[in-house]
Amino acid sequence: MSTYDVFISYSRKDTDFVRELFNALSAEQRPAWVDWQGIDYSTKWWEEICTGIERAHNFVLIVSPDSLNSVYCHREIEHARKIGKRIVTLLYRPVDEAELVGGWYTHKDMRPIEPLARANWEHLKTIQWIDLGKLNGDATAGAKALLQTVDTDPECVQAHTQLLQQTLYWENSGRSPGALLSGDVLTLAEKRLQDCAPKISFNDGQKAFVTESRKAEAERARRIKEDEQRTKRLRLITVVAGIIGVLAVLATGGAVNQTQIARNEAATAIANANEANQAVAIAGATLSPIPPTLTAVAEQVIEGEAQIASLDLASKAAEILSQPEGNRETAALLAIRALNIDYTPQADADLVKAVDGLFTRQSLSEHTFVVNSAAYSPDGVYIVTSSWNNTVRVWDAVSGEEVRMLSGHTLGVNSAAYSPDGQFIVTASLDGTARIWDADYRDFVAYACTRVFREDLTEDERRVYGITDDSPTCPQFAKGSGQAAGG
Q: Which of 305-309, 334-338, 446-450, 454-458 has the highest mean pLDDT?
A: 334-338
Q: Which residues contact 451 (CB under 8 A, 6 or more apart)?
A: 485, 486
Residue 479 has pLDDT above 50, yes or no: no
Q: Give the predicted TM-score (pTM) of the model.
A: 0.49
Q: Collapse the DSSP code of 186 into the 3-class scheme (helix H, G, I; strand E, B; otherwise coil) and give the result.
A: helix
Residue 430 confidence (pLDDT): 81
Q: Which residues contact 485 (CB under 8 A, 6 or more apart)?
A: 449, 450, 451, 452, 453, 454, 455, 474, 477
Are 362 and 383 contacting, i.e. CB atoms less than 8 angstroms apart? no
Distance CA 334, CA 142 (A): 64
* Ramachandran category for residue 400: left, alpha or beta (phi over 0 → left; psi -120 to 50 → alpha): left
The CATH fold assigned to 361-439 is Thrombin, subunit H (2.40.10)
Distance CA 248, CA 460 (A): 84
More confident residue, 455 or 41: 455
Instruction: For domain 4-152, give its CATH number from 1.10.10.10, 3.50.50.60, 3.90.1150.170, 3.40.50.10140.
Output: 3.40.50.10140
Residue 256 has pLDDT above 50, yes or no: no
Residue count of the chain, please give it.
487
Does the fold of domain 361-439 match that of domain 4-152? no
**Given pLDDT bands bounded at 50, 70 and 90, which one contains residue 444?**
low
To the nearest whole percent, how much of the chain has pLDDT over 70? 76
pLDDT tens-digit series, residues 445-469: 666 776 666 667 888 877 777 778 7
**Given pLDDT bands bounded at 50, 70 and 90, which one contains residue 11?**
very high
Q: Could you tell me which of 53, 133, 107, 127 has the C-alpha nearest to residue 85?
A: 53
Domain boundaries, the chain: 4-152, 154-360, 361-439, 443-487
Mean pLDDT value across the chain: 79
Report in angstroms the alpha-carbon separations of 23 from 18, 26, 142, 163: 9, 5, 12, 29
